[in-house]
Structure 1
């Protein structure tokens, strides 16, 4: 048994979908979430920079005593997963493999689409993993503006639908029957994506599948929180305004996130919030 928190990291607010899924599956577990909002979005940035940014944040989580790391960012997972598993003594879970497994078991016609940030798509991470299955044909499409919409709290406007139509047209033409949402921000746009792709296309999101991987790792390593544990959820952001992160989290997830504090990680030099984060149960 281990009552230390699970550390969850994303470039911004997208990883909150993973945090929500982990909390729903493991309500007794504490969570420490960091969104690297100071340097979001990661998608357009060079892979070397993403690797450095991500490792700085993960170093901070490990220093705070987490018992597991969850890389809730597809771009970061593609950039530095192997580095993270070699660097840290705690188990590391990411979001790409769970989605790949689900897509492989879901597709009926063997034609799978993947959407993600420019960094994720150019890395070829999904294409390589899905390509191991010779019966699959993979079609990948970068959708960079999707993250911009989510980070701005815009999830259902006519502009979102118009951009979705543009991005997803090649995948519809390719007759994919399964579409992997290869970015943790994208579930917030699932309504628009599903509308454009149509009811016959199955959408695969990594949040719930990643939560199952977290559960398996905790059980196999005897790291589950004890029955008397008092779960606490703490949310941290590296950006200049904790209030802005909080506002956006409320808009996307309701009132689940009730307080955020600013943190300094690695080379980021930011003033800490004047009021410490409340420990949430």
Structure 2
């Protein structure tokens, strides 16, 4: 048994959907969440910059003693998942694989759509994962403004619906029957996305599937919190205003997030004797 927290990281507030799903499945687990709001959004940034920002945040979580890392950001997962798994001794769970596997088992006509940031779609990571099944045809579409809407707390306006119509038209015309929401911000826009795509298209979101992966990893590694564990949920942001993060979290998720504190990230050069939990890339 291990009562250390699970570390969850996203570029902003989108990963809160993953944190909520993990908490629902594993209510005794403590969580430590960092939203890298100082550098959000990640989608349009160069891959090298995303990799650097993400590893700095993950370093911070590992130095704070988490027992597992959850990369609740598709763009970051595409940029540095292999690096993270080589760099840390704690297990690393990401959001891309679970969503891809669910999409493959959900589709009926073998035509799958994927939407995500420019960085995620440009990396080809979903196309590669889904492409291992030769029977599938994959249609990928970047939706860069979706993250901007969510980070601004705009989720249910006519403007959102109009942009969704524009972005999703090629996928609707392609006849996909399954659509992967390849960004953890996108579930906050599920109403508009579902309306545009129609009732016959199944939406696959990574939050619940990722939570199942977290559960499997904790059980297989004997890392579940003990039966008497008292869970603590801590939320941190790298931006310059904790009130901005908190207000947005309240608007999107209600009062689940009660407090947030600001943190500064950075790669910490630890003495070798104190750095046994971290390897080298």
Work out whether the TM-score is over 0.5: yes
- CA deviations over 1:139-183 (Å, ceiling 9, x no partner): 000000000000000000000000000000000000000000000
Q: 1:18 and 2:29 equivalent?
A: no
Q: How does 1:187-266 map to 2 (within 5 A)?
A: 187-266=187-266
- 2:77 corresponds to 1:77: yes
Matches for 1:50-199 after TM superposition, within 5 Å: 50-199=50-199
What whole-Å deviation, never above 9, does each CA across 1:15-49 have from its counterpart, x for those lacking one? Answer: 00000000000000000000000000000000000
Provide the secondary structure at the position in 1 that maps to 2:55. Answer: helix
Q: Once the two structures are superposed, what CA deviation does each residue of 1:61-83 show, in whole Å capped at 9, x if it has no partner?
A: 00000000000000000000000
2:265 is paired with a residue whose SS is coil
Which structure carries more relative contact order (alpha carbon 8 Å, separation 6+)? 2
TM-superposed deviation, 1:237: 0.1
Report the RMSD for the aligned CA atoms in angstroms.
0.5
Residue 5 of structure 1 is matched in structure 2 by 5
CA distance in 1, matches of 2:57, 2:178: 33
Instruction: Give the count of matched residue pairs.
Output: 267
Structure 1: stretches of 5+ with no match in the other structure: 268-281
Runs of 4+ off more than 3 Å: none
1:33 aligns with 2:27: no
TM-score normalised to structure 2 length:
0.95
What is the rounded CA distance, in whole Å, between the counterparts of 1:68 and 1:7 in structure 2?
Answer: 6
Find the residue that maps to 1:203 and give its secondary structure: strand
* Equivalent-residue separation in structure 2 for 1:46 and 1:183 (angstroms): 17
Q: Distance in 1 between matches of 2:108 and 2:231?
A: 41
> CA offset at residue 241 of structure 1?
0.3
Report deviation, 1:198: 0.1
**Could you tell me how far apart the structure 2 residues matched to 1:95 and 1:245 are?**
22
